[in-house]
Amino acid sequence: MAKTVKVIINGKEIKVPVGTSILDAAKQVNINIPALCKHPDLEAGAGCGICVVKVGSGNGKMLRACCTDVEEGMNIVTHDPEIVRVRRNVLELILSNHPKDCLICARNNDCELQRLSAEFGIREAYYPLIVGRKRHKFDNTTKTIVIEGSKCILCGRCVNVCQKHQNVWALSFLGRGIDTVLSPAGEIGLNDSPCVKCGQCSNHCPVGSIVEYDETQKVWEALNDKDKYCVAQIAPAVRVSVGEAFGYPLGTNLTGKLVSGLKKLGFKAVFDTNMGADMTIIEEANEFVKKFTTAKDTLPLITSCCPAWVDYLEKFHPDMIGNFSSCKSPHEIVGVLAKTYYAKKNNIDPSKIVMVSIMPCTAKKYEISRSQEMFSSGQQDVDVSLTTRELARMIKQSGIDFKNIEDAEGDDVLGVYSGAGTIFGATGGVMEAALRTAYHLVTKKELPPSKIEFKQVRGLKGIKDAEIDIDGTKVRVAIAHGLANVDKLLKQIEAARAAGQPSPYDFVEVMACEGGCVGGGGQPYGVTNELRKKRAAGLYKDDEGQKVRCSHLSPAVQTVYKEFVGEPLGETAHKLFHNHYHKRKTYIK
């Protein structure tokens, strides 16, 4: 049983576990202490100072609640006139070094600094504005995320998540004091740094200093071009997160409203990335079973549907390229099918098709042109990738009453999917979907309904492993999410290889973002583990409600292979659905 300590907060005695911060202890008695630098995902950095509280009798010492653990008998005051005045002064100092262009900022009405300033009633600048003294840079070189250094409040969240949680080290603070700036090493462009475009820096930034690279205008122009045939596809995780922008309960599945909303925006057809996930599983499961039964020395097979992870592998672990599944990501498969199979079937000139992917991810913006394989239809397979946040803005701009529009169904056949396809959006989902089909490929039987769920691969533990029994055949699997966890797992595999031992795992799933795509860098702001769980729960509920829960049993998948692709891993499949990987430099300059 965990040890506890007694503390007094605003006159009320409570018990909390040893090691609890004052900030978290206060939440247990429904007291919110303001904070800018602290995020639930991240270790305390004590950067902003707005969370000060008084500790001790009398006036007490002022300590920062985010990084101070409670102690036995501690007497804490979280709010009084002096504390409020100090916090207000901290805000005024931050604002003295922050632009006042809220109306044209990407985070307007969704900014933590703006919200706190409103709560503290700040209506005029107490200190003179000193923006411009720092050597800030505007950096959009990755074409996935944008850094506006002048808006940085030096909270450290982006640096923390980039270095400690993603182990990429693309971002750091340079300089000292008032001359401190956020930048890659040597003030190079972000695209020349080790950045893998995961977008977790933007997802954790409290202000508008790091945001997604907005491409909504490009999509509006395509929709307005009468010569274009605009189609869209919806990623698994988008359907359970977009509702947060419209006041829905967390994890609400809005597939039907998304299809309807996209058609009202002007898209002529709406497909589902889940269908591409089903196609990915057919290729990847066959790839795994082939290696597992005929070439075990080439194991493990590692999944490849996450583009930030692909970039990380090519930069930091190129020795593992031979273990990488060559299968493309689901939205790329839908993209190439739209411009080949769908175009031919419907007598549409593929050069006129504009494919727009709605993704939870900023790295998808990079993926759509990362290599020549992304043009395997004869033109770019996916033309634009929008984040969940960008789509929410487009729906609001269009005047669509999203809460009250009718539901609609995706277009046949690229809009039809199985339950296995929808769970791709959660960590462990790709593995579970692959195991459902691998079972069939190995045993030539179908899983009974009572055994179709592999719950041992689910959950938010950073590295999960399990031994799966496939009708007497043991398969050792591992799942990692968050690139720092991925790095630890890969080093285990590399250590075994260096020692001349077999891999500890046969099959490995990797997602760059914690929680998988439900926690992607393009998702609505405010992500926490509680939010990730609810988004994932929405996907698992969708899976449970599907009549078909295995990719290989999807009628849409069967039709596409029968009418167009032929055999899994065959000539057409390899041409359209598979990749090559290459070692990349971590620093280009």
- Judge whether 92 counts as a catalytic residue: no
Separation of alpha carbons 278 and 414, rounded Å: 10
Q: Are strands 145-148 and 172-174 parallel, antiparallel or unpaired?
A: unpaired
- Judge whether 37 counts as a catalytic residue: no
- Judge whether 544 counts as a catalytic residue: no
- Judge whether 283 counts as a catalytic residue: no
- Judge whether 105 counts as a catalytic residue: no
Q: How far is CA 562 from CA 410, 558, 567, 568, in A?
A: 21, 6, 8, 10
- Judge whether 325 counts as a catalytic residue: yes
What separation, in Å, do the N-terminal and C-terminal C-alpha atoms of the chain show?
Answer: 53
Catalytic one of 305, 327, 361, 550 = 305
Separation of alpha carbons 182 and 114, rounded Å: 20
Element (H, E) at 217: helix 216-223
Catalytic one of 112, 367, 390, 514 = 367
Catalytic one of 284, 332, 390, 432 = 284
Separation of alpha carbons 482 and 195, rounded Å: 14
- Judge whether 263 counts as a catalytic residue: no
What does R_g of the chain's alpha carbons equal in angstroms? 25
- Judge whether 284 counts as a catalytic residue: yes
Separation of alpha carbons 156 and 203, rounded Å: 13
Catalytic one of 112, 283, 287, 432 = 287
Separation of alpha carbons 361 and 524, rounded Å: 11
| Number of residues assigned to the chain | 589
DSSP, residue by residue, 322-375 = GGB--BPPHHHHHHHHIIIIIHHHTT--GGGEEEEEEES-SHHHHHTTSSGGGG
Catalytic one of 112, 148, 373, 390 = 373
Catalytic one of 257, 517, 550, 551 = 517
Phi, psi (rounded to 5 degrees) for 354 = -110, 110
DSSP, residue by residue, 528-586 = -HHHHHHHHHHHHHHHHT-S--SGGG-HHHHHHIIIII-STTSHHHHHHHB-------S
Separation of alpha carbons 158 and 28, rounded Å: 27
Catalytic one of 339, 364, 464, 534 = 364
Separation of alpha carbons 255 and 407, rounded Å: 8
Residues with a catalytic annotation lie at 284, 287, 305, 325, 364, 367, 373, 517
